Structure 1
């Protein structure tokens, strides 16, 4: 099954500026390893970048990808303005153009953009793999970043009503190939 990797909102203003999200450095290392394996297998990679007029203005320093991310000239860049990486973006067309039927989702923020994109991908019929150790969030008053990630790994993987699988898998265990 043709697979693509979606790296969501791993941007300087969200992941490099202090305070950093839970395990920010480790998460970026896992994303880099995941995207390197994807490219080696011929799977397309898309970096999705959130923007707004307040603190993530398009093409500003804070809007740029986090400094520790490894990219390739073949990678797609997709701009978005909502937590849903599909809403008013070319993502679905890009996936279709590449014949993708399964997406591997990683990035920032577990409870907003990662969660929303996972659910929307499943609603659109994509098989979803949530890279269980390669998404993150900042600590919140009600839960730590680690608790938020753990909660979303369990909750999203428990959803069956979309009719396609959503699996939470350690990033090192994600396999690529048609």
Structure 2
């Protein structure tokens, strides 16, 4: 990774997705890898940013509900940053970009859910905004979609995003 000021962005690792009716692919490994990234970021005194998807009232991801909460398995601290979003992009109508600018962050390490929606969209949007995006290839997950298996979806997005949109690295290769 470059020497740019980095932060960790953890996308949509909420009870409703992590512990929903359908288990995300390799969720235990993904949770462990995200916790490793969190620990590494903290050791280097880099910001950890959690983003929670918020659905309309009456839906499982409605603001404040149990399913909306960040999964308890993740190592959170009060001084972490917590943002909400209503669209796949973590940048759309959120304070993420202004937070990054305020903190002098020019590089985001991305992990979380879902590979084919919010992870993909956020990586593309961040790159278009001039942010160096690093995708942890083994720290994002999703669900099968009836056409492709989860393994195929994750591999496809790792390949598709790598190069034009992200630097693709495994958790063990990422340094802050």
TM-score normalised according to structure 1 size: 0.93
Contact 1:16 1:67 in 2 (8 A): no
Of residues 110, 133, 136, the one that matches 2:115 is 110
Which residue is equivalent to 1:25? 28
Aligned to 1:45: 48
Residue 158 (structure 1) shift: 3.4
1:42-121 matches, within 5 Å, as 42-53=45-56, 54-121=59-126
Q: Secondary structure at the match of 2:68?
A: coil
Cross-structure match for 1:122:
127
Other structure's SS at 1:26 match: helix
Aligned to 2:152: 147
Alignment match, 1:166: 166
Structure 1 segments (4+ residues) deviating >3 Å: none
- Give the Cα separation in 2 of the matches to 1:158 and 1:140: 25
- Judge conservation of contact 1:102–1:129 (CA < 8 Å) in 2: yes
Structure 1: give runs of 5+ residues left out of the alignment: 160-164
Q: Output the CA distance in 2 between the equivalents of 1:75 and 1:158.
A: 29
How many angstroms does 1:107 deviate by?
0.2
- Report the CA distance between 1:18 and its aligned residue: 2.9
> Structure 1: how far apart are the matches of 2:5 and 2:31?
24
Equivalent-residue separation in structure 1 for 2:132 and 2:36 (angstroms)? 21
Q: Which residue of 2 aligns with 1:162?
A: none
How large is the Cα RMSD of the aligned pairs?
Answer: 0.9
SS in 1 for 2:135: strand
In the aligned structure 1, how far is the partner of 2:89 from the partner of 2:70?
Answer: 18
Separation in 2, partners of 1:166, 1:10: 20
Aligned equivalents of 1:40 and 1:63: distance in 2?
Answer: 28
Q: How many residue pairs align between the two structures?
A: 171
Q: How far apart are residue 67 of structure 1 and its match?
A: 2.2
Unaligned 5+ runs, structure 2? none
**How far 1:26 moved relative to its partner?**
0.9
Q: Deviations over 1:37-94 (max 9, x none)?
A: 0011011010000011122110100000012111112210000000010010000011
